Amino acid sequence: MSSSDRVHIVTWNVGSALPPDDISSLFGPHAGDGSTDMFIIGLQEVNSMINKRLKDALFTDQWSELCMDTLSRFGYVLVTSQRMQGVLLLVFSKFCHLPFLRGLQTEKTRTGLGGYWGNKGGVSARMTMFGHPVCFLNCHLPAHMRNLEQRMEDFGSILQQQQFEGGTASGVLDHDVVFWFGDLNFRIEDYDIHVVKSAIDSNKLPLLWERDQLNIAKNSESILDGFLEGPLKFPPTYKFDVGTHTYDTSSKKRKPAWTDRILWRLRCTGSPVPTQNAALQRGLTSWLGGATKVVQHSYRSHMGYTCSDHKPVSAVFSLHFPFKVDLPLVTLEYVKEWTKVSDATVRFIVMSNFQRSSWDWVAIYKVGFKHHKDYVTYVWAKADHGSQVTFTEEDLPRDAGEYILGFYSNNMNTIIGVTSPFQVRTLPDVFLPVFSDVSSEDDSTLVLLAPASSRSPSPGKSKHHHRHRRSRSPAHSNTPMPSLQGLSLHPRPLEGLPSSRSPCSAAKKERLVSPQDTLPSPISPLTPRSPVSPGGGVSAPEALIAAILGEHRPTQVTPTGGRSPGKPGETSL
Ligand SMILES: O=P(O)(O)O[C@@H]1[C@H](O)[C@H](O)[C@@H](OP(=O)(O)O)[C@H](OP(=O)(O)O)[C@H]1O
């Protein structure tokens, strides 16, 4: 983990347009270099015609698909999404952060037609990021110069109505950090269209800042207290003739405006360090620095896109947390070399405060997966079946490439434990006979291997079997399996038992190599817990007390960037 977390937010009123072929530039020139931890996308006016919505209900909308296609290529997974008619919010993260994004909840508030219609309003997603409550709110507020008051009123209704369950941060503004963005529809007052256009042409944007309704309202509306925004150094992003870079020439002749905005707000006091002891909590919280800090690195428009009458706007932020809760609720351990079917066993260690469900599962994901249901295969991890699962030979990935293991919690509705990526390699001389055995099933094999939502477990509908099986080939009873002879899972030297700690670290990548490679001897799946296993770990406060008493070095537990052995449970929420 880096010492801060980088969040990249995009807002775009897409004007009911179909998505263009390539939107990758929205995610910055370095989307693939791993420097961004989360991408948040707020869209407005996503086509929500009735027939379109029926299709979307089944297959998701084309914008979501395109965002998932684009960001999954860079290793980002859809964490959660919320849609209300045309207002859509998508939250993506590096897969290795999934275990530390907890308490996910979404909300939506209609404000159109007096609160009955969702053409206007707000959708939000809240979560704790490494123990700190953060909320993302995407709004589409009423249009037109004259509706300033209505915009403020609607924003107030959204804040009032959006209430989350089960914690201290029940309202949007109770979160340590709020990002508020969208087509907020504020306009430039007083100046006529010619003055505005000539100020834009002559790059005299500061002249227009003073007349921007949102800038003015920040000084008078208490509801906007604490909201911050970077300087608007880009030209107004509304309204353009579709297909051009020309401001509105239609009969409407709308005045250009910065309708599309990204703001943030910090709570004055940060989250308390999680501990039961109130006095200790006060002390530790003040010692650790209290509030989260946010730094904006860029705030820009993307003028090249022409499919809508709005241009997209993006902003990049660093979040500096005073401490991090970054121990997973579940640690996955697995034998490093899979050469026989019993090796394909994954043992998991759960934290004592984690509540298991019969509908939890352990899945194999190909790196580049789009969301938690986009697995290659899964095995139910029923509580009464102990703490390990075994994949069958037929469950194993057929494609060479990078894979991870993930533990999905049904109660928490998210992946709560992941491993580092490992390589699966196939040996042609070993694999080919296997594939030729099932050559008549090639098509079905391809279908089954293709990422598809249809492969999601549907516990409510399907029989609750222990293991998901592909219908690909009959299971072999003898070991070693032909295909398994071509696979071995092997961490790089210096690694002990592969586990799900620090999965972001490229240096800790594991690989599946052929048995011919030089390997250390395999480790049994039943290897005892590593010394840092969460079962034997300590909570942040406990470790801090120990640190104060000199039993542990403080560097193990303190703030940001360090390996804080904090209790990962959602203690404050
Ligand atoms: O999405 P909705 O709820 O239909 O609301 C419309 C939307 O805000 C358009 O951006 C706006 O056109 P302009 O941007 O051109 O103002 C239009 O105004 P209009 O009715 O005056 O065209 C609104 O009715």
Biggest alpha carbon distance in the chain? 82
Atom 7 of ligand 1, nearest CA residue: 143
- CB distance 194 to ligand 1 below 6 Å: no
Q: What is the 3-state secondary structure (H, E, C) of 370-400?
A: CCCCCCCEEEECCHHHCCEEECCHHHCCCCC
Identify the burial level of 430 via C-beta atoms within 10 angstroms of its C-beta, where 0-12 means exposed, 13-18 middle and 19 or more buried. Answer: middle
Distance (Å, whole) CA 453 – CA 290: 42
| Torsion-angle region of 264 (φ positive above 0: left; ψ -120 to 50: alpha; else: beta) | beta
Q: How far is the CA of 185 from the centre of ligand 1 (A)?
A: 10
- Nearest 5°: phi and psi at 119? -70, -25
Mean pLDDT (the chain, rounded): 76
| CATH number assigned to the domain covering 330-452+464-506 | 2.60.40.2840
- CB distance 24 to ligand 1 below 6 Å: no
- Judged against a pLDDT cut of 70, whether residue 58 lies above it is answered with no
- pLDDT tens digits, 473-485: 222 333 333 333 3
- CB distance 110 to ligand 1 below 6 Å: no
The torsion of the CA quartet 544, 549, 553, 558, rounded to 10 degrees, works out to 20
In a 3-state reduction of DSSP, which class is residue 331?
A: strand
Q: How far is the CA of 364 from the centre of ligand 1 (A)?
A: 46
On whether the CB atoms of residues 125 and 565 are closer than 8 A, the answer is no
Distance (Å, whole) CA 128 – CA 130: 6
* pLDDT band (50, 70, 90) for residue 148: very high
Looking at the DSSP bridge assignments, the partners of residue 350 are 330
For the CA of 239, the closest atom of ligand 1 is: 14
pLDDT the model gives residue 270: 60
The ipTM assigned to this model is 0.93
Distance (Å, whole) CA 449 – CA 437: 17
- Nearest 5°: phi and psi at 433? -60, -35
Distance (Å, whole) CA 403 – CA 419: 9
- Give this prediction's pTM: 0.78
Mean pLDDT of 165-173: 88
pLDDT the model gives residue 50: 67
Least confident interval from 301-315, 439-453, 547-561: 439-453
pLDDT the model gives residue 36: 97
Question: Which is it for strands 177-183 and 132-140: parallel, antiparallel or unpaired?
Answer: parallel
Q: How far is the CA of 146 from the centre of ligand 1 (A)?
A: 13
Angle at 439 between CA 438 and CA 441, to 5 degrees: 70
Looking at the DSSP bridge assignments, the partners of residue 11 are 42, 313
- pLDDT tens digits, 522-547: 222 222 222 222 222 223 333 333 33
pLDDT the model gives residue 286: 61
What count of other Cβ atoms lies within 10 Å of the Cβ of residue 144?
Answer: 11
Looking at the DSSP bridge assignments, the partners of residue 315 are 9, 299
Q: How far is the CA of 269 from the centre of ligand 1 (A)?
A: 40
Atom 9 of ligand 1, nearest CA residue: 143
Mean pLDDT of 366-388: 92
Mean pLDDT of 40-61: 78
- pLDDT tens digits, 223-262: 999 999 999 999 999 999 999 999 999 999 999 999 999 9
Distance (Å, whole) CA 529 – CA 526: 9
- pLDDT tens digits, 483-509: 333 344 433 332 333 454 333 543 333
Distance (Å, whole) CA 173 – CA 533: 36
Mean pLDDT of 155-174: 93
Atom 10 of ligand 1, nearest CA residue: 143
pLDDT the model gives residue 399: 87
Nearest to 81 by CA among 71, 70, 97, 92: 92
Report which of residues 341 and 201 the model is more confident about.
201
Q: How far is the CA of 486 from the centre of ligand 1 (A)?
A: 60
- CB distance 252 to ligand 1 below 6 Å: yes
For the CA of 142, the closest atom of ligand 1 is: 8
pLDDT the model gives residue 568: 29
- CB distance 143 to ligand 1 below 6 Å: yes
For the CA of 248, the closest atom of ligand 1 is: 15
Instruction: Extract the tokens encoding 308.
Output: 């809508």
- Judged against a pLDDT cut of 50, whether residue 192 lies above it is answered with yes
Nearest to 177 by CA among 38, 27, 320, 275: 320
For the CA of 250, the closest atom of ligand 1 is: 15
Contacts 24+ apart (CB under 8 A), 356-359: 356/381, 356/383, 356/409, 356/411, 357/383, 357/409, 357/410, 357/411, 358/382, 358/383, 358/384, 358/410, 358/464, 359/410, 359/457, 359/459, 359/464
- Judged against a pLDDT cut of 50, whether residue 21 lies above it is answered with yes
Q: Give the start-to-end residue ranges of the domains of the chain.
A: 4-320, 330-452+464-506
DSSP string, 529-569: PPTT-GGG---HHHHHHHHHTTSS-GGGTSSTTS------S
For the CA of 185, the closest atom of ligand 1 is: 8
**134 contacts: CB under 8 Å, gap ≥ 6:** 126, 127, 128, 175, 176, 177, 178, 179, 319
> Which CATH superfamily, name and number, covers 4-320?
Endonuclease/exonuclease/phosphatase (3.60.10.10)
Least confident interval from 448-457, 474-483, 528-537, 560-569: 528-537
- Judged against a pLDDT cut of 80, whether residue 121 lies above it is answered with yes
- Judged against a pLDDT cut of 50, whether residue 203 lies above it is answered with yes
Least confident interval from 105-119, 353-367, 372-386, 502-516: 502-516
- CB distance 119 to ligand 1 below 6 Å: yes
| 492-520 burial: b if 16+ Cβ within 10 Å, else e | eeebebbbbbebbeeebbbbbbebeeeee
Q: How far is the CA of 143 from the centre of ligand 1 (A)?
A: 6
- Judged against a pLDDT cut of 50, whether residue 162 lies above it is answered with yes
Distance (Å, whole) CA 178 – CA 291: 13
Mean pLDDT of 144-166: 97
- CB distance 239 to ligand 1 below 6 Å: yes
